[in-house]
Amino acid sequence: MSSDDGYIRDDWPKIPDGSNYDGKRLLTLVRSGNSPFKKVWDVNLLIQEVEDNINSQVIDIPFVSKGSNNYGFHFKMSDQRDILVRLARGDVNMPAYDGSPMDFLIQEIKFEAAVYTLLGSQPDIPTSRPLYYRAPVQHNGARVDMPRDIRGRCLMVFERAEGENNIWGELGPDGKACLLAQAARIRASLFNFSLPADFATAWLRLRIFEFMPEELPLPIAPTREFWIAIFTSKIKATIGEEGDMIGWEDDHNIVGPVALKAKQSLLRFVPHMMPTGNDEGSLYRLVLDHGDFGIHNMSIMVDITSQPCVTSLYDWETGCIIPAILSDPEMAVRVDLVTDENGAPSITRVPKDATPELRDEYMVCASQYIKVLYEHAPYFERAIQAGKDARHLWFALKRWRGNDPEEFFGKLGAWAESRMKEIGVE
């Protein structure tokens, strides 16, 4: 697949009749010389690397799945183990590679490995055990030919948890309610988890979305003062001075007078939007967020009574460390189950053609999920309510993709001015 400027990731392969490969019988196809991936990369190299590093032979590959950024391979091994092999769909050694930069990819896979190690002893947050991983390696010299190896692709190998993802459509109302309750308990356990200080120190700045200065303004601490400094630094790093570049270089946008004015409004509002009170220690407690919590990133086993059981939460690529007031309760099913600014159940990402009945069904799901979440993490609701202004700004900045900075920040600046007027800021 290519952007306007170059290669980002592989397209999913097609078979000779022009239809998409169904993900089955891969080992048979590879051994007969008919690998669906052979035009781009050699599956034999993947098999060899896995065998060399987990000391067992691949005897079958029942299924291959496609994620946004990775392939997922189910390998059966000669020692009776079932493993999950995750290989990046993008190769940094491809000609005209235009994907994520190397330092980001290396940091991302190291963070994931650290998370799996951190949570490996937490039974209430099920995760698969990693067996092997490596970051991509970018070869020296010009990239003019297709790579002969797969070293330019991130690779992670796990013990495979029983179950599948995205089984939502197979469940009846009771099964869906059961799954939502389990997901809510896992999400609550993650919110309640006491994050070790050394883990936060190692990873907090690296996991904050663009844009941030190279160094944090204050030592990391679960305090209001620290997070005021983070918001201030983020705003200044995002909106420089008039005429400076804003957003990503390829967009060729500069800071205009509207964005500059909005910057001053936002900076003035920051100290007033950060909640205070006797419970500041709880409001600013550091929390590990998954970043993409939903059934698409869960292994789910269905028993003989058609009841689901979550066996693993995976793909921590978008994980981050934030204060409790910014923790995101979102749960993705076919829509996103979320809360409004006051902590009440709500839904987003609803198809435009969804019927009123379907909307009502998903609102019931949101209510079921949020109810159990608050039962097991009662402070989550208080954090959402207290941090509503900080959350509005944080998530708005996170969603911004660099387009129309004058319009985008103009609206944010107007919002900040309106909120300051409402709360009586002189």
pLDDT at 157: 98
The pTM (predicted TM-score) of the whole model is 0.93
Burial class, 425, CB count within 10 angstroms (exposed 0-12 / middle 13-18 / buried 19+): middle
Q: Classify residue 294 by its DSSP letter.
A: B
Is CATH 3.40.50.620 the classification given to domain 26-159?
A: no
Q: Which residue has the higher pLDDT, 396 or 3?
A: 396
What integer is the mean pLDDT of 165-178? Answer: 92
Task: Please say whether the beta carbons of 36 and 21 come within 8 A.
Answer: yes
CA trace torsion 203, 204, 210, 214 (10° rounding): -80
Q: Is the pLDDT of residue 16 over 90?
A: no
pLDDT digits (tens, 9 = 90+) for 332-357: 999 999 999 999 999 999 999 999 99
Instruction: Render 59-128 in DSSP notation, one character per residue.
Output: EEEEEEEE-SSEEEEEEEETTS-EEEEEEES--TTSTTB-SS-HHHHHHHHHHHHHHHHHHTT-TTS--P
Task: Please say whether the beta carbons of 337 and 349 come within 8 A.
Answer: no
- What backbone torsions phi and psi does residue 272 show, to the nearest 5 degrees? -85, -20
Angstrom distance (rounded) from CA 325 to CA 327 = 6
List Cα–Cα distances, 81 to 62, 73, 161, 424, in angstroms. 13, 14, 11, 63
Q: Give 4's pLDDT tier (boundaries 50, 70, 90).
A: low
Nearest to 339 by CA among 388, 285, 294: 388
Nearest to 209 by CA among 90, 321, 336, 113: 321
What integer is the mean pLDDT of 161-188? Answer: 94
The amino acid occupying position 279 is D
Angstrom distance (rounded) from CA 337 to CA 334 = 9
> CA angle, 291 as apex, 290 and 295 as ends, to 5°?
75
What integer is the mean pLDDT of 372-395? Answer: 98
Paired tokens of 380: 């989550």
Angstrom distance (rounded) from CA 340 to CA 48 = 49
Burial class, 279, CB count within 10 angstroms (exposed 0-12 / middle 13-18 / buried 19+): middle
Angstrom distance (rounded) from CA 146 to CA 95 = 7
pLDDT at 5: 67
Percent of the chain with pLDDT over 90: 92
Q: Is the pLDDT of residue 401 over 80?
A: yes
> CA angle, 207 as apex, 108 and 377 as ends, to 5°?
110
Angstrom distance (rounded) from CA 82 to CA 46 = 16
pLDDT at 410: 97
List Cα–Cα distances, 320 to 40, 119, 213, 389, in angstroms. 33, 14, 17, 20
- Each domain of the chain, given as residue ranges in start order, spans 26-159, 162-426
Average pLDDT, the chain: 95
